[in-house]
Structure 1
Amino acid sequence: MRTVRSWFRDTAGGLPRTFWYLWTGTLINRLGSFVLVFLAIYLTQARGFSAAQAGLVIGLWGVGGAVGTTVGGTLTDRWGRRPTLLTAHLGAATMMVALGLARPLWAVALGALLLGTFAEAARPAFGAMMIDVVPAKDRLRAFSLNYWAINLGFACAAVLAGLAAEAGYLLLFLVDAVTTLVTALIIFFRVGETRTVAVTAPTGGAAPRGALRTIAADRVFLVFVTLNLFGAVVFLQHISMLPIAMSDAGLSPATYGSVIALNGVLIVFGQLFVPRLIRGRSRSHVLALAAVVMGVGFGLTAFADAAWFFGITVLIWTLGEMLNSPSNATLIAELSPAELRGRYQGVFSLSWQLAGAAAPILGGLVRERAGDSTLWLGCAAIGLVIAVGHLISGPARERRATQLRAPATPVEPVTARRAPAPEAAEAAAIAPAEPVRAPS
């Protein structure tokens, strides 16, 4: 019993109260994250669209997400974390209902575009707020706990959504909208602004001019983002092409929900042990191994023809995802200068949105023109390329992280602007996602 208490204290103890409010909001939001999980099935079965048209709609969700993360990152630094989060969540809840009521292809496509914009605008603000309130020494634990909440909600949502879809697809959109609103209420009542603004800043607290030029010149960071982009293209096939492949194999939406729920279940039971497993190990080696395991998992989908076989592939690539997530998050935190934290978060999230736009379109084209086997074996090949990329670029990333790393003190939520002491401003020159997991 003492060992269990010690493990729990080491895993969850000592984290700020604001983190736990954010964690709770994440869990509630993900418990209702029905729509994107079943969007491909909904578009092809309920709306009667082709696989290519479904891929286009999901791709437009990704395009909207790319716009949302870019705008959200800028607003996070200029306007503040809290107002950006509230606006994004309220807009996403509204567009969720609108998408559920849309019928013509153009209306569905427009709804997906706008929903992606609002939903993904929250990511940079959420990531920046997490870094603001959690000390650097606790971030690996915090990000793992948050990812655990995401996947606990996802596992439950996948099963419940499969049952709800049989009762009526509109219910998926309504429940998703309600949980998004509940998250917004938690932020409104319990989470204050966490951005520290210098009163002497000539732009009124905005990030320095030339921020995009700074990011564009940061080759170490951009290489990391590019590797994440390719990894996300592979990973997001579980939302776009996997449900279609399982449907072609004669499996029902409820079966897909149960199979994909294995992803969340494995993470729920195993993710909290990952930080201790990878602590002290080379992050580049961990990320390379994660890419190989994920590629193998998706590659084996080429041979799957039954629910149990699809389930095994999901469990394999989930192991890669579990290794990838905490290392990714801590690296983004350490590669992001404090004054550009929101924009760095936005650019990293942008890689997910670009993948969200490209993955269903490329997956649909490859599947229709070259077949399922080519699609899934191609995913395995991309995983190997990503692994090599991490091994080559890893040393430069760690040198950059060491240069930016300095003792950092988390700030409590503030409602008024205050200037940090010169020592604090200098020490804050470090800075992750979702999660990262699929957009929702």
Structure 2
Amino acid sequence: MSVAALRRAAKESVAGLPREFWWLWTSTLVNRLGAFVLTFLALYLTAQRDFSASYAGLVASLIGCGGVIASMLGGVLADRFGRRPTLLGAQLATSATVAVLAFVRDPVWIAVTGFALGLASNASRPAVQAMMADIVRPADRVRAFSLNYWAINLGFAVSSVYAGFLVAQSYTVGFLVEAGMTFACACVVFVKVKESRPERTAPVAGAAPSAPVTMGTVLRDRRFMLMVGLSFLVAVVFTQSSVGLPIVMGENGLTSADVGIVASVNGAIIVALQIPLTRFIERRDPGRLLTFSSLLIGYGFALTAFAGSLATYALTVAVWTLGEMVNAPTQSGLVARLAPAEGRGRYQGVYTTSWSAAALVAPLAGGWVLDSAGAGWLWAGCAVLGTVAAAGYWLLMRGLPGRRPAAPAPVSVAASADGATTDTVSRVA
């Protein structure tokens, strides 16, 4: 592809999205530019504070447990009280919690603060996803989620460069920098981002009022819950990038610097290719995209069984990264499509729970398989889970009306009380 074609693809990828989206995108980028504490927390607890590896694992589990609770709680709050107050509250709480973590020394209070950090940092995700679905028209949602995903990875890639040097000088300063960046993110939301929650429409004269969307409504939605289960399988495989992969590389004689280099391949590919790839995937059949991406992720990790050198490990990362780049925005767009407008927060919250739960299960499962059966069985298991997920997505999407996303066209929008726009597309179930 020529440089001119790449420029044209990039321009088309960012054109036509509402201004409110770009302020939300900016807040995501600012947030991720400062989000690095969790990356170094285990090293901080063991090397700086002389706690055991078991204690560091306990704190990580408590953070994950907080994330599972926050995913569902954040979705309920976003629907009940609004996306903006939920997002603001979560970001302010995250900023305060990270700042406290810089100064607490007692192991009990570190654990409590870690749990609170898991709650605060994950409560904003359903609100962000629901807000994007509110303000972006259906035909552009996959593109919007893809751009937001790109911002997350760009911010992480940049923060990873300077964070290592920063915490090498002072973990306290590093924690305070993250707290300050998260507070700046909250300021962007407070000043520029408006509430987008759709107002509940009045029933047509003579028609029975529709039942409110509750968490029970979400959990009884069989099609959606099947999608959440499939997302969990993909997430369990993907989480091995931070669990099984580093352990196996270390056992094969590679250093921590080598692990870092291989991990950087993931971020570099996403930053370089996510925007051009967006134009390719946004008009494709989501069923085929999710099926294909699940196979890429599963078998990309399975290829690790044949890796031995730095280059071959990097090649396997490139394979499953391509699957990740297709899967993440497509799946987020599908969640927005399946959710009724007044229940988007709850639906996004339950979907986010699949990743939070995988963060709890995958380290335990991966470690157990490595200890009891060996690396070969771990990578074979990744292939099996990827295959099951692919088959599940194929069956899930077979009965979904209008599988191919609509082409861009003017859509009917209704202005909310605060000036934000919300689509009036009905739920597909």
Q: What is the TM-score when the length of structure 2 is the normalising length?
A: 0.86
Inter-CA distance 177–199: structure 2 relative to 1 (3 Å threshold): same
Task: Please say if 1:332 is aligned against 2:335.
Answer: yes
Q: Residue in 1 aligned with 2:266?
A: 263
Q: Residue in 1 aligned with 2:184?
A: 182
Q: Which moves more between the two structures, 239-248 or 77-86? A: 239-248
The residue type equivalent to 1:363 in the other structure is G
Q: Which moves more between the two structures, 304-313 or 322-331? A: 304-313
Task: Please say if 1:13 is aligned against 2:10.
Answer: no
Deviation at 1:36, TM superposition (A): 2.7
**1:92–1:180 contact (8 Å) kept in structure 2:** yes
Deviation at 1:275, TM superposition (A): 2.7
Give the aligned length.
417
The residue type equivalent to 1:130 in the other structure is M
Task: Please say if 1:383 is aligned against 2:386.
Answer: yes
**2:30–2:184 contact (8 Å) kept in structure 1:** yes
From 85, 89, 92, give the equivalent of 2:91. Answer: 89
Deviation at 1:315, TM superposition (A): 1.6
The residue type equivalent to 1:144 in the other structure is S
Inter-CA distance 99–357: structure 2 relative to 1 (3 Å threshold): farther
Inter-CA distance 60–310: structure 2 relative to 1 (3 Å threshold): farther
Inter-CA distance 299–76: structure 2 relative to 1 (3 Å threshold): same
Inter-CA distance 6–429: structure 2 relative to 1 (3 Å threshold): same
Counterpart secondary structure, 1:192? coil
**2:198–2:341 contact (8 Å) kept in structure 1:** no
**2:397–2:403 contact (8 Å) kept in structure 1:** no
Q: Which moves more between the two structures, 295-304 or 311-320? A: 295-304
RMSD of aligned Cα (Å): 3.1
**1:55–1:361 contact (8 Å) kept in structure 2:** no
Could you tell me the percent identity over the aligned residues?
43
Q: How does 1:398-409 map to 2 (within 5 A)?
A: 398=401, 409=412
From 153, 157, 172, give the equivalent of 2:159. Answer: 157
From 416, 423, 426, give the equivalent of 1:429. Answer: 426
Q: Provide Cα deviations, 1:184-208, integer angstroms capped at 9, x if missing partner.
A: 010011111112324969xxxxx95
**2:286–2:403 contact (8 Å) kept in structure 1:** no
Q: Residue in 2 aligned with 1:133?
A: 135
Task: Please say if 1:283 is aligned against 2:283.
Answer: no
Inter-CA distance 242–298: structure 2 relative to 1 (3 Å threshold): same
The residue type equivalent to 2:358 in the other structure is A
The residue type equivalent to 1:156 in the other structure is V
Q: Residue in 1 aligned with 2:206?
A: none
Deviation at 1:349, TM superposition (A): 1.0
Inter-CA distance 257–176: structure 2 relative to 1 (3 Å threshold): farther
Task: Please say if 1:69 is aligned against 2:71.
Answer: yes
Q: What is the TM-score when the length of structure 1 is the normalising length?
A: 0.84
Q: Residue in 1 aligned with 2:377?
A: 374
Q: Residue in 1 aligned with 2:368?
A: 365
* Aligned counterparts of 2:177 and 2:252: Cα–Cα separation in 1: 29
**1:33–1:154 contact (8 Å) kept in structure 2:** yes
* Aligned counterparts of 1:147 and 1:350: Cα–Cα separation in 2: 18
Q: Residue in 1 aligned with 2:60?
A: 58
Counterpart secondary structure, 1:193? coil
* Aligned counterparts of 2:137 and 2:37: Cα–Cα separation in 1: 34
Inter-CA distance 337–324: structure 2 relative to 1 (3 Å threshold): same
**2:296–2:320 contact (8 Å) kept in structure 1:** yes
* Aligned counterparts of 2:389 and 2:270: Cα–Cα separation in 1: 22
Q: Provide Cα deviations, 1:384-431, integer angstroms capped at 9, x if missing partner.
A: 2211221222213456999xxx98545667549x9x9xxx99x34249
